[in-house]
Amino acid sequence: MKQEKCRAEVVLAMKADKATEEKIEAFVRARGCDGARYTIDPSIGGGIVIYIGDKVYDGSVKGRLASVKRSV
Protein backbone atom coordinates (compact mmCIF):
# COMPACT_ATOMS: atom_id res chain seq x y z
CA MET A 1 0.00 0.00 0.00
CA LYS A 2 1.35 3.39 -1.00
CA GLN A 3 1.96 5.81 1.87
CA GLU A 4 0.13 9.14 1.38
CA LYS A 5 2.57 12.03 1.29
CA CYS A 6 1.68 15.47 2.73
CA ARG A 7 2.23 18.80 1.07
CA ALA A 8 3.64 21.67 3.14
CA GLU A 9 2.16 25.15 3.01
CA VAL A 10 4.92 27.79 2.99
CA VAL A 11 4.11 31.48 3.52
CA LEU A 12 6.71 34.13 2.63
CA ALA A 13 6.66 37.90 2.69
CA MET A 14 8.49 38.09 -0.64
CA LYS A 15 9.54 35.57 -3.24
CA ALA A 16 12.58 33.54 -2.21
CA ASP A 17 15.57 32.86 -4.41
CA LYS A 18 16.41 29.41 -5.74
CA ALA A 19 18.90 28.50 -3.05
CA THR A 20 16.50 29.40 -0.29
CA GLU A 21 13.69 27.46 -1.93
CA GLU A 22 15.96 24.39 -2.09
CA LYS A 23 16.67 24.67 1.62
CA ILE A 24 12.93 24.93 2.31
CA GLU A 25 12.23 21.90 0.14
CA ALA A 26 14.91 19.92 1.95
CA PHE A 27 13.39 20.93 5.29
CA VAL A 28 9.86 19.85 4.40
CA ARG A 29 11.04 16.57 2.80
CA ALA A 30 12.94 15.81 5.97
CA ARG A 31 9.54 16.01 7.71
CA GLY A 32 7.81 13.56 5.37
CA CYS A 33 6.36 15.92 2.76
CA ASP A 34 6.90 15.50 -0.94
CA GLY A 35 6.85 19.22 -1.71
CA ALA A 36 5.75 22.68 -0.73
CA ARG A 37 3.11 25.11 -1.94
CA TYR A 38 4.24 28.73 -1.70
CA THR A 39 2.10 31.74 -0.80
CA ILE A 40 3.30 35.35 -0.75
CA ASP A 41 1.82 37.40 2.14
CA PRO A 42 3.60 40.70 2.83
CA SER A 43 1.59 41.12 6.02
CA ILE A 44 3.85 38.64 7.85
CA GLY A 45 6.54 41.34 7.65
CA GLY A 46 9.34 38.98 6.68
CA GLY A 47 10.68 35.53 7.50
CA ILE A 48 8.76 32.32 6.87
CA VAL A 49 5.76 30.32 8.11
CA ILE A 50 5.47 26.60 7.32
CA TYR A 51 2.33 24.50 7.91
CA ILE A 52 2.91 20.72 7.91
CA GLY A 53 -0.27 18.96 8.93
CA ASP A 54 -1.16 20.28 12.38
CA LYS A 55 2.33 21.55 13.01
CA VAL A 56 3.10 25.25 12.45
CA TYR A 57 6.64 26.59 12.18
CA ASP A 58 6.33 30.37 12.58
CA GLY A 59 9.49 32.27 11.82
CA SER A 60 7.78 35.39 10.57
CA VAL A 61 8.55 38.86 11.87
CA LYS A 62 4.89 39.25 12.74
CA GLY A 63 4.82 35.98 14.68
CA ARG A 64 8.01 36.71 16.56
CA LEU A 65 6.82 40.18 17.54
CA ALA A 66 3.54 38.64 18.68
CA SER A 67 5.53 36.22 20.83
CA VAL A 68 7.53 39.12 22.28
CA LYS A 69 4.27 40.99 22.94
CA ARG A 70 2.79 38.00 24.78
CA SER A 71 5.87 37.66 26.96
CA VAL A 72 5.66 41.37 27.84
Partner 1 sequence: MDYGFAVNRLLASGGNIFETLGITWESIVLHLFSLIVLTVGLYFLLFRPVKKMIKQRQEKVQKIEKENADLNEEVKQMKSSSAKVLSEAKKEAAAIHESAVKVANQKADEIVSEARERAKTLVEQTQREMDEERGKLRSEIEKQIADVSVAVAEKVIEKKLTPEDNRALIEKCLEEWSKE
Q: Interface residues with partner 1 (CB under 8 A)?
A: 12-14, 16-17, 20, 23-24, 27, 30, 42, 45-48, 57, 59, 61-62, 65-66, 68-69, 72
Instruction: Give φ, ψ of 32 to 5 degrees.
Output: 90, 10
Distance CA 26, CA 18 (A): 12
Rounded to the nearest angstrom, the gap between the alpha carbon of residue 41 and the centroid of all alpha carbons in its chain is 12
CB of 67 to partner 1, least distance (A): 10
CB of 28 to partner 1, least distance (A): 10
CB of 56 to partner 1, least distance (A): 11
Closer residue to partner 1 in complex, CB, 7/57 = 57
Distance CA 6, CA 61 (A): 26
